[in-house]
């Protein structure tokens, strides 16, 4: 149906890459800030550093979107597709291991 990559999908891919690049730093700061054995000043500095991470690099910036259409609702996480694209591909036999239920 869509022959081009939606700008929403491109933005989602860029956000996912940015989040993964900051992942180690974010986890280190979180560990320092939440460890109660550390001095309060160090924990406070770690919390400030955690807050200074760019907003698009936070986990909350990731929105699951369909890789085919860019739709943001009705996404199957395992396939990263919306329900309509999933149904079309499943009926065409494009998804391995997915068959229509018969009873």
pLDDT tens digits in sequence order for the chain, 103 residues long: 455 667 878 888 888 899 999 999 999 999 999 999 999 999 999 999 999 988 888 888 888 888 888 888 899 989 989 999 999 999 998 988 888 888 7
pLDDT of residue 101: 82
pLDDT of residue 62: 83
Cβ pair 76, 86 in contact under 8 A: yes
Query: Rounded to whole angstroms, how far apart are CA atoms 41 and 44?
Result: 5
pLDDT of residue 57: 86
pLDDT of residue 5: 67
């Amino acid at each position: 149906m869509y022959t081009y990559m939606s700008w929403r999908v491109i933005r989602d891919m860029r956000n996912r890459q940015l989040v993964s690049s900051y992942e180690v730093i974010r986890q280190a700061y979180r560990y320092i800030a939440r460890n109660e054995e550390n001095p309060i000043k160090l924990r406070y500095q770690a919390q400030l550093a955690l807050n200074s991470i760019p907003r698009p690099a936070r986990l909350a910036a990731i929105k699951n979107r369909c890789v085919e259409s860019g739709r943001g609702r009705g996404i199957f996480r395992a396939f990263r597709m919306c329900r309509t694209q999933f149904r079309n591909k499943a009926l065409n036999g494009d998804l391995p291991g997915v068959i229509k239920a018969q009873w």
